[in-house]
Structure 1
């Protein structure tokens, strides 16, 4: 499949319609396979549609399935079985790139509902309140773009990994700009030690190192995550096979650096599947990521099972396997410090969320009480 970029411009939409009309999208359904009445040309299948989504869509009579490509304020770009379209999304304010949705088609298309998400990448909002932000939905693989040109930011990588594992998707660490690393093997070993259970690859968009190996790991819906300046968009262009993502002509500037992707978009990959590019993350706040932390720090949690006491805090208790591993050099002390820090942050976020939900429920009950009292007063006046 040729890779095409969705945008607001008519030219880009026409490009994707050309892909659709040429029959390239039909290959996703298979020449001899049964025709899906919701996706007769295979265009939705090329964007991740399958029997599971068809079953989830059952009951949305009079509507058509669509995948969210990009979200703006009150409107969003989508792909349907008939091609790309733009629709009003005010009725579904939580729509996110990657969502599957029920669309009311017509002269003024309107998003009516979202299908239940299989996976979602969620972080705490930058404002540090008790709310969360969904970065991408229904993702199969999360590619974490981590620059290898300087010293590796271990804490940032652990945070990104926690987000990825918690989402339910498979994380892949792509060490970008490996051609700038003084000791590439050392950086690769360090990253692998921080990412148990995840694939870690050294890549360079400059000389092509590792790109074929990375592409071979990608299928379904892939999302790129990374901080500003990590080379995320450059890596995305290398995977897409064309300059589809801006790397310098669109800039949003802040005091922590520059990033070139300013919104989330979904683009077809040449080998099949789709890629979601995201803006560079200024902050990677955890939001109820207990399972993700357990995956990231599986080494510590595994050692903790060998401690003499089940409630060992790994401070100074006798028979602590975690402290013994630190003393022997098998476990870096920095890693235990990071584990404790992220556990505290995650617990704080969970407590804030619980408090907000309790307050919202209290306000809801008060509103019901006020409504009932008003109804009683009205009834009494009518007597």
Structure 2
């Protein structure tokens, strides 16, 4: 099997690549500032985007990201880099809100089949954060798998698995430990040649340890959690590797808190979506309407208040994701005055009232 097949190139990508017969297809394996590493069938080399490409992009996420298949000319520029001319269509894209900006999006990884959501079984364990990760992964188009690490340090595993049952609807949960090679082997057997998996989670939860196991050698630096259970940042940038069984692995920097640019909360909160079909009103907001099946489930003890609050919080974030501060304010005001047909109609009614 050639390297590009191991890297997950599909018939669709090949067909698209054939539109550029003068160029070569490769996959982005890492990025440092504006310099990329690109893997092709025969070698790996550094590259940067062309001036024309840079001129034509509309937003940050149009730039190549780790996991992207790109078209390069393999011809060096004055600085010794190949030139990237095109980013081919993305099958999936994991997107987070870029830190310190109002509406910029940051690509975590692209063309990923499986996303392993890693969380250690100590004070890092956080059900609400898992809901957030799941919303992002479902929205990406990839398949989420929850990986609970460091089970040897957990004395209440059964309780934690019961907690997960409420939120991990339709998602496989795998319990691992470095002292249990069988659990790591089970994970590794999911990563077949041509399959790409990305690992996300807080720093120090064991992502790099698992990836080193997949690679059959220590490539990534590993470190544990500090005394306060916050991880040391051993991975500082995204990087793609080929595992010893032929699958592709993408490591990502630790993300304890992650804002989203878009999210699929319907699949994350599938239980609420099913209940909503029983509500009296089709447009029920599940906040104060009569005969709301969601509120009834909470009152009857069939749903935790914590999960309901998390649902409302993520729903608000999803609604405002990508909007500017002015747009968010306008949306909030329209929501407040929705019974009057929105903010504009409310102002019009107030003017008419003042003229009486």
Query: Shorter chain as normaliser: what TM range?
Result: 0.7 to 0.9
1:99 paired residue number: 68
1:120 paired residue number: 93
What does 1:52-91 correspond to in 2, within 5 Å? 52-89=12-49, 91=51
- Alignment of 1:247 with 2:222, yes or no, is yes
- Aligned-partner SS, 1:259: coil
2:243 to 257, 269, 273: 269
1:8 paired residue number: none
TM-score under structure 1 normalisation?
A: 0.76
- Aligned-partner SS, 2:170: coil
2:252 to 278, 289, 292: 278
Q: CA deviation at 1:217?
A: 2.8
- Aligned-partner SS, 1:267: strand
2:324 to 314, 331, 352: 352
- Alignment of 1:287 with 2:254, yes or no, is no
Kept in 1, the 8 Å contact 2:29–2:240? The answer is yes
Ranges in structure 2 where 5+ consecutive residues have no aligned partner? 55-62, 329-356
In 1, the alpha carbon distance for the partners of 2:115 and 2:31 equals 20
Q: CA deviation at 1:346?
A: 1.5
Q: CA deviation at 1:189?
A: 2.8
CA shift in 2, pair 1:132/1:143, >3 Å: same
1:228 paired residue number: 203
Q: CA deviation at 1:208?
A: 2.5
Q: CA deviation at 1:111?
A: 1.0
CA shift in 2, pair 1:354/1:224, >3 Å: farther
TM-score under structure 2 normalisation?
A: 0.81
Ranges in structure 1 where 5+ consecutive residues have no aligned partner? 1-27, 29-41, 357-383
In 1, the alpha carbon distance for the partners of 2:257 and 2:50 equals 27
In 1, the alpha carbon distance for the partners of 2:40 and 2:213 equals 27
Q: Over residues 222-252 of structure 1, what are the superposed CA-to-partner deviations in whole Å (9 max), with x where a residue is unaligned? A: 0000112222212222232221211149x9x
- Alignment of 1:148 with 2:148, yes or no, is no
Kept in 2, the 8 Å contact 1:99–1:114? The answer is yes
Kept in 1, the 8 Å contact 2:94–2:140? The answer is yes
Kept in 1, the 8 Å contact 2:104–2:322? The answer is no
- Alignment of 1:177 with 2:177, yes or no, is no
